A = this chain, B = another copy of it.
């Protein structure tokens, strides 16, 4: 009975598959039979197909209307009270450190040639105090463009779209919770606020407008806003800033916001070990301040073996 139905459908399929005028094979349509993994199966509610490059389309709920849900890492960073609290906590720690706990000492910018194992610091030499902040997902939440990214989280980074975002996205951002209050407190304490970002100098006007729209203040390129001319390395710009200022704190969502040396590690496990090892481990919340970002960046790497160490595996004995 079932078999007969299947054979009937097979016949239909063969005709459909070889109809004249058909120039190429068609993708399976709802109701069509096909073989997968050697099994005879039927497409009943086809919602999406692999892209030509074989990549998997975003889940239906990530492409459906606004009543559907973004992927969890977007819900967390842009929507959760927890991430909001985590950001306020980071800015509070930075302001406490920069305004009260750190009256003297060197800059928190590594000297050229210094290593993570034996860090050396640019001296302050009576320079005016400053704190250095990354922009994106450190002081700016890029809601407008990330709402698009959340629809297709597997898609590769679109540099051209991001450049358009830098130019025209001012109305689509919000400050990271606590950033505005931190800037006000630092400025009141005589600590200059400097932004060091990999946004492009070609879109400087858009970034200035975006920082202003987020309520973070008026920034001037090469004075308190340092932009990229191409390479994503930030050490050269950190050196320029540390030559003018005593840098009492740095904040970012990526390890590259503190030193380009972190880019040298071959695996995420080695990179994490470097963060966790003395003397660098002592800097977190103590000169270097981290903002949460599980949505993009160099931290989102690693195989199962990198992320879940073999010596921490668990075999579920089951209900037995």
Contact = CB atoms under 8 A, between A and B. Distances in A.
A52 B47 contact: no
A148 B72 CA distance: 17
A157 interface: no
A313 B147 contact: yes
Interface in A7-29: 10, 13-14, 16-18, 22-28
Given A81-B271, A301-B79, A314 B171 contact: yes
B54 A30 contact: yes
Contacts of A196: none
Given A90-B89, A92-B286, A93-B89, A77 B150 contact: no
Interface in A204-219: none
B33 A44 contact: no
B82 A172 contact: no
Contacts of A36: 27, 49, 52
Interface stretch (A122-130, A224-232, A236-244, A272-280): A272-280
A94 B147 CA distance: 34
A307 to B, nearest CB: 4
Nearest to A45: B54
Nearest to A160: B319
Contacts of A147: 304, 307-308, 312-314
Contacts of A281: 88, 177-178
State the oligomeric state as a number of copies: 2
B66 A274 contact: no
Interface string A134-158: 0000000001111110100110000
A161 interface: yes
A142 B143 CA distance: 31
Interface of A: 10, 13-14, 16-18, 22-28, 30, 32-36, 40-50, 52-60, 65-70, 72-86, 88-90, 92-93, 96, 101, 143-148, 150, 153-154, 160-161, 164-165, 168-169, 171-174, 177-178, 253-255, 262, 268-269, 271-272, 274-276, 281, 284-286, 288-295, 297-309, 312-314, 316-319
